[in-house]
């Protein structure tokens, strides 16, 4: 696993197009702690879905930037 314990998982769950809302399951084994909640075509929709969650810090949006790099917000 990389320095950031979720980095490898983030790369695996980052969509080629669109945006994935991802959650964290801290009770799962390392390497399986992230899971996709829903895929969105628009960033604003993914962001709104994150804002609707009770503990927003346990969720983030994954997507590819213009340089094909994994981005999480």
Q: What is the pLDDT along the chain (73 residues), one digit of tens a residue?
A: 344 668 889 999 999 999 999 999 989 988 899 999 999 999 999 999 999 999 988 999 999 999 999 999 9
- Indicate the burial class of 13 (C-beta count within 10 angstroms; 0-12, 13-18, 19 or more): middle
Determine, yes or no, domain membership for 63.
yes
Give residue 1's pLDDT.
38
Which residues constitute the domain of residue 48?
7-67
pLDDT recorded at residue 30: 84
Adjacent-strand bridge partners of 59: 23
**CA–CA dist 17, 57 (Å, integer):** 24
Confidence (pTM)? 0.88
**42 within a domain of the structure (yes/no):** yes
What's the total number of domains in the chain?
A: 1
- Nearest CA to 69 out of 28, 11, 6 is that of 11
- pLDDT for the residue 6: 80
**pLDDT for the residue 38:** 97
Residue 19 inside a domain? The answer is yes
């Amino acid at each position: 696993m990389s320095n950031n314990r979720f980095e490898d998982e983030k790369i695996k769950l980052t969509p080629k197009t669109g945006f994935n809302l991802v959650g964290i399951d801290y009770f799962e084994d390392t390497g399986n702690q992230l899971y996709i909640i829903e895929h969105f075509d628009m960033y604003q929709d993914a962001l709104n879905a994150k804002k609707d969650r009770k503990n927003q810090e346990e969720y983030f949006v994954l997507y590819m930037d213009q340089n094909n790099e994994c981005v999480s917000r």
